[in-house]
Amino acid sequence: MSTSKRRGAFTAVALATVLVVAGAPAASATAKPAIEVSGGLTQPVFSYQDAIREHVRVQSPVDSDGDGRKDLVRVDIIRPKETNFGLKVPVIMHESPYYDAPGVGFELDHKTYDANGNLTKFPLFYDNYFVPRGYAFVSVDMIGTRLSDGCPTSGGRSDVLGGKAVIDWLNGRATAFDDKGNPVRATWTTGRTGMIGHSGEGALAIGVAGTGVRGLATIVPLAAPSNWYGLWRANGTLTDTKGGQEWLATMVDEDPDEKCAAVHQRMTAGSDDATGNYNAYWHELDYRTGPVSNARNVRASVFPVVGLQDRNVMADQFSTWWAGLPRDVERKVWVTQYGHLDPFWARRDAWVNTLHKWFDHELMGVPNDIMRQPRADVQLGPDRWTTQADWPAPTRTVTLRPQHDGSLDRTPSTGTGSYLDTLQTEAAVVGDPGTTNPNRLAYLTSPLRNATRLSGTPSVSLRVTLDKPTANLGVMLVDYGQDTRIHGADPMGQGLKLIDGEDCVGESTADDDNCYVRAADNTVTSGFQVVARGFMDAQNHTSLRHSTPLTPGRSYQITWSMLPQDYEFKAGHRLGMVLTGTNDDITDAETGTGTRVTVDLAGTSISLPLVTGTPSGR
């Protein structure tokens, strides 16, 4: 059955069995409790105060800590009391490795429990808002964290299959137990589940979706990695902490280190920090093409959010996964200029309303307008958003070439330039582009006559000669021109600043406050902004799996994709192409290679997917 027919059939069944449009007369005095819909949205007619709170432990198919027993996954549940009297509801599932450390959300929420071990406080707002509207909410401790068994593996097989087991239990295909060891069935749910989460939580949603598990109807991954190699590496270069996989596993696990020491050793060996190469270990953690989770297997609809200035989970984690999804997967996206953020903290009213419509449509079958709206919301600057039919926008490719006089245009050029691969900050190599700097080459266009928007993934091609076997090659596309921009690269606020007041979202109890601090765009006024970045360890230019040292003195053509971006260059600004070495803002490296890189301008170019004209914004 096609996707559209499956959705049509589901909608008809849902409307016939669980939905009552507000204002319609009741069928009878003995009618089963029903979800109410008005204006295309479910209404808060169920008591949050009286909701059922319980917990189970779902048996997973893995033994991640090697103790001879299959890991049990802790699942905390809150659902309308009416589900004990015949109402069946869909599930919103938030699986997280962060419930112990560091906490979840912008305010680092933690769980609290009553004397029976049930939650008195569910972190975040999903339970407060959606349970009164007829959803169950389940909060899942990822394997190896909080009250679940096992060892966390920073995106490994057991992390993914633990979450899949919960979906299977909600659909009657796996076993769960209460505290006394008695089997428990999820008789109160339709089985239709939506997973949501930020960062590593979103990665779990992507990973579980890539197993093709039935019953997972939609996922909402926020600033989420889809390929764990790309979290620490970029084309062979180290872009984050050495030993990052083990560090992350120990950070979220409060058990004694010796419990998972063997697992940590395997992670460190598999990571292969010495070469930075992609290998079988990383392939297992690749949710785009890997053996455990694969984008081709996704059957759930997807609604990702990406911050294009995110230096933690870089934007190609979204773009390559998005492009690899089956064409019939229904989808929506928000593309922002923030860093590593959940949009609840950035654009709260619009986000909650959009998420509400999305879950109602995808999990309840409510016939609202969410799929008739433009697919993509794109942030162009402070308080400036536009909508479009898809992402990226339709573009034409414009190729620019560096000139020997320091300009950048479409004309083929001749000549050479050179620089040293040393450890440099972006500000040091991007600032003062007209001056001589031994650690970079900078080329600028003439001032733009019209506003010009980039949408998609630039690519770069360099013809280089090295005096050593390798170098870290860095390319930056820069917007030169005084402007006020989102400060998305700020590691503290990720593009936001706190402001006075709170917003209360959904209902609350004495133990579970539904109010959250407010935030607004954090801007910076400056003469330039790094728009897109590209990195390459030269010895990986033919393969990420194998290092091939270059022959000093020999010329090589090296071509690769940069990080994606959606950005508007204003009229009068200039585009800059800056060639440099090891980036101190991105890498954990202590030094550059010291290699002299000689660039043949005739074989060097940057290709940009451009849309001309100024979008209207809103």
Strand, coil or helix: what is 227? strand
Q: Which of 100, 310, 521, 537 is catalytic?
A: 310
Distance CA 28, CA 477 (A): 66
598 alpha carbon, distance to own chain's centre = 37
Q: Which of 64, 96, 148, 199 is catalytic?
A: 199
Distance CA 314, CA 473 (A): 18
140, 200, 244, 258 from 153: Cα distances, Å: 16, 11, 11, 15
> Across-strand partners of 493?
none
Distance CA 316, CA 308 (A): 9
Distance CA 574, CA 23 (A): 58
Query: In a 10 Å sphere around its CB, with 0-12 CB exposed, 13-18 middle and 19+ buried, how is residue 235 labelled?
Result: buried
Distance CA 586, CA 59 (A): 40
Q: Is 199 a catalytic residue?
A: yes
Distance CA 223, CA 343 (A): 9
Q: Is 546 a catalytic residue?
A: no
399, 444, 601 from 403: Cα distances, Å: 13, 9, 7
In the chain, the amino acid numbered 256 is P
Backbone angles phi, psi at 403, to 5 degrees: -115, 155
> Across-strand partners of 36?
20
Strand, coil or helix: what is 334? strand
Q: Which of 94, 198, 340, 356 is catalytic?
A: 340
Q: Where do the H-state alpha helices sit in 418-542?
A: 426-430
67, 251, 424, 439 from 583: Cα distances, Å: 43, 26, 6, 11
Query: In a 10 Å sphere around its CB, with 0-12 CB exposed, 13-18 middle and 19+ buried, how is residue 86 labelled?
Result: exposed
287, 449, 472, 553 from 595: Cα distances, Å: 35, 38, 9, 12
Residue with tokens 């990665």: 203
Query: In a 10 Å sphere around its CB, with 0-12 CB exposed, 13-18 middle and 19+ buried, how is residue 482 labelled?
Result: exposed
Q: Is 340 a catalytic residue?
A: yes
- Catalytic residue IDs: 199, 310, 340
